[in-house]
Structure 1
Amino acid sequence: MTKVTAQMSVSLDGYYAGPRYQGGGSGWMDSAEAAGFFRVTQWVLDAMAWRERQGLAGGEQNVSSEIIAESFEAAGAYVMGRRMADGGEEPWGEEPPFHAPVFVVTNRPRETLVRKGGTTFTYVTDGLAAAVEQARAAADGRNVAVAGGGTLLRQVLWSGLLDELDLHIAPVVLGTGMRLLDGQLPAPIELTPARVVPTPQVTHLRYTVNDR
Structure 2
Amino acid sequence: MATRIHNFSLSLDGFAAGDPQSFETPFGHAGQRLHAWMMATRVWDPEHGTSGVDEAFAQQYWRGIGAEIMGAHKFGPPGWQDDPDWRGWWGEEPPFHTPVFVLTHHAREPLEMGDTTFHFLTATPAEALRIASEAAGGQDVRIGGGATVARDFISAGLVDHVHLVQVPIVLGRGTQLWEGLEGFEEAYDVETTASPSGVTHLVFTRKSPLVTS
Match of 1:40 in 2: 34
Q: Is the 8 A contact 2:160 2:206 kept in 1?
A: yes
Could you list the per-position Cα deviations for residues 54-89 of structure 1 after superposition, in whole angstroms to 9, with x for gaps in the alignment? xxx532233212222122113111000112112494
Query: How far 1:51 moved relative to its partner?
Result: 4.0
Residue 204 of structure 2 is aligned to residue 207 of structure 1: yes
The residue matched to 2:196 in structure 1 has which SS?
coil
Query: How far 1:194 moved relative to its partner?
Result: 4.0
Q: Identify unmatched segments of 5+ residues in structure 2.
A: 78-85, 209-213
The correspondence of residues 149-164 of structure 1 with structure 2, limited to 5 A, is 149-164=146-161
Q: Is the 8 A contact 2:25 2:31 kept in 1?
A: no
The count of aligned residue pairs is 197
Q: Return the letter of the residue paired with 1:97.
A: P
Match of 1:75 in 2: 65
The correspondence of residues 1-212 of structure 1 with structure 2, limited to 5 A, is 2-7=1-6, 8-21=8-21, 26-29=23-26, 33-36=27-30, 38-51=32-45, 57-87=47-77, 89-116=87-114, 118-183=115-180, 188-189=183-184, 190-201=186-197, 202-209=199-206
Q: Return the letter of the residue paired with 2:30.
A: G
TM-score (norm 1): 0.82
Could you list the per-position Cα deviations for residues 100-158 of structure 1 after superposition, in whole angstroms to 9, with x for gaps in the alignment? 11111111111111111x21111112332222111111222221100011000000011
Q: Mark the CA change 1:27 to 1:200 in structure 2 (over 3 Å): closer, same or farther.
A: same
Q: Is the helix fraction higher in 1 or 2?
A: 1
Misfit runs of 4+, over 6 Å? none
TM-score (norm 2): 0.82
Q: Identify unmatched segments of 5+ residues in structure 1.
A: none
Q: Is the 8 A contact 1:197 1:203 kept in 2?
A: yes
Report percent identity of matched pairs. Answer: 34
